[in-house]
Structure 1
Amino acid sequence: METNYYSAYIDQQKTTLDSIPLHKVRQIAELLREAWTHNRQLFVFGNGGSAANASHFMTDLGKGASDALGKRFRCLSLNDNTAWITALGNDYSYDDVFLGQLQNYAQPNDLVLTMSVSGNSPNLVKAIDWANANGLTTIALVGGKKGKLAEIAQEVVVVDSEHYGRVEDAHMTICHMLCYQFMEQGN
């Protein structure tokens, strides 16, 4: 492979990053600050690479941002309990793996954030529908296809690309901005 491929990939990644609507990221930061102030929970989840991003985000927010602020974020990645996910998937449906956990943990006014490149994953849509119906604030980070999540989530950040790797990288950049804002600027 020629180095032109890599150079073009980087150029396209820069274009994808430039598409992040920073005013929407700021709105999500305000929702996180409000949740932190009022001791509300944040639940984050996704599939595949977005599942890994959810776990990484909660590690940075739960440890790094919490350490910097001196007060803990109450946050949880719903991707991290394999036994629960497989029990819900086996006994009910894979569409219920996040919904089932929210039904146990979530309270009105808590935050739910999901990440999806397609915006159409049935398990994410079902969890966001339930969260909306039960008084939670819902946030979706999606790709250029937008999908159903962009229609139903209360706050939506669209990254203007349909390339899975670039969108997942941009979503993680958003998550890092959210965490590092608290780590570097305080509350």
Structure 2
Amino acid sequence: MKDFIQSEFFSHIDTAQSTLKLLVDDISKACDIMIKALKAGNKIMVCGNGGSAADSQHFAAELSGRYKLNREAISCVALSTDTSAITAIGNDFGFEFIFSRQVEALAKYGDVLLAISTSGNSANIIKAVNVAKSKGCSVVGLSGKGGGELNACCDLNIVIPSSNTPRIQEMHLIIEHTICDILERELA
């Protein structure tokens, strides 16, 4: 058991080092995109499925509440939180539309969509990205496993260099926390 625990931690550390070496510029670009939108009075929308839905909610909560600093709320909406909308849209249109219909309703020109998909191929995330783009939003993706379809439709897709779902999700969380910290300091 101890060997397994150690191997998990070493796997995390290896993935973190690879991510940092490859993606520090992309993470910085994502921050720039979001800062520009927020300073112009726009908002960030976030979507993801499963653990990525939880990350979406976590990210939005850190911005609308606080991450480390007491400051004005930062406009961020997690599209995974309105169970009435999700279930109505899923029932009436299909699960693949649960985020795109919300983007259609909420997005304004200049907003940002943060689209989180471990595989980069989630149909409901891709549909949300396409609607966001059609409404003049910037789109930042967080993915892994080569980036999938998000590579072709995002303005910037931050692709974790791993095929291991838990490692990808762990890197997404540290990237999300880093973005929260930077946005908070830039906008406080």
Common fold by TM > 0.5: yes
Q: Secondary structure at the match of 1:139?
A: strand
Task: Give the corresponding residue for 2:101.
Answer: 100
Whether 1:7 aligns to 2:9 is no
CA contact 2:145–2:162 (8 Å) conserved in 1:
yes
* TM-aligned CA deviation for residue 163 of structure 1: 1.2
* TM-aligned CA deviation for residue 67 of structure 1: 5.3
Structure 2: 5+ residue runs without aligned partners?
Answer: none
How many corresponding residue pairs?
184
Q: Secondary structure at the match of 1:120?
A: coil
- Of 27, 32, 42, 2:34 maps to 32
* TM-aligned CA deviation for residue 7 of structure 1: 0.9
Task: Give the corresponding residue for 1:46.
Answer: 48
1:79-118 correspondence runs (5 A): 79-118=80-119
Question: 1:100-136: CA deviations, max 9, x gaps?
Answer: 1011110111100111111100000111111112211
* TM-aligned CA deviation for residue 38 of structure 1: 1.0
Identity of aligned residues (%): 27
Question: 1:61-108: CA deviations, max 9, x gaps?
Answer: 11115954x333111000000110000000001010001101111011
1:66-85 correspondence runs (5 A): 68=70, 70-85=71-86
Q: What is the Cα-based RMSD across aligned positions, in Å?
A: 1.5
Whether 1:142 aligns to 2:161 is no
Moved over 2 A (4+): 65-68
d(CA) in 2 for partners of 1:72, 1:186: 13
Question: 1:35-67: CA deviations, max 9, x gaps?
Answer: 221110110010010000000011111111595
d(CA) in 1 for partners of 2:69, 2:6: 38
Paired letter, 1:12: S
Paired letter, 1:10: F
Structure 1: 5+ residue runs without aligned partners?
Answer: none
Paired letter, 2:164: H
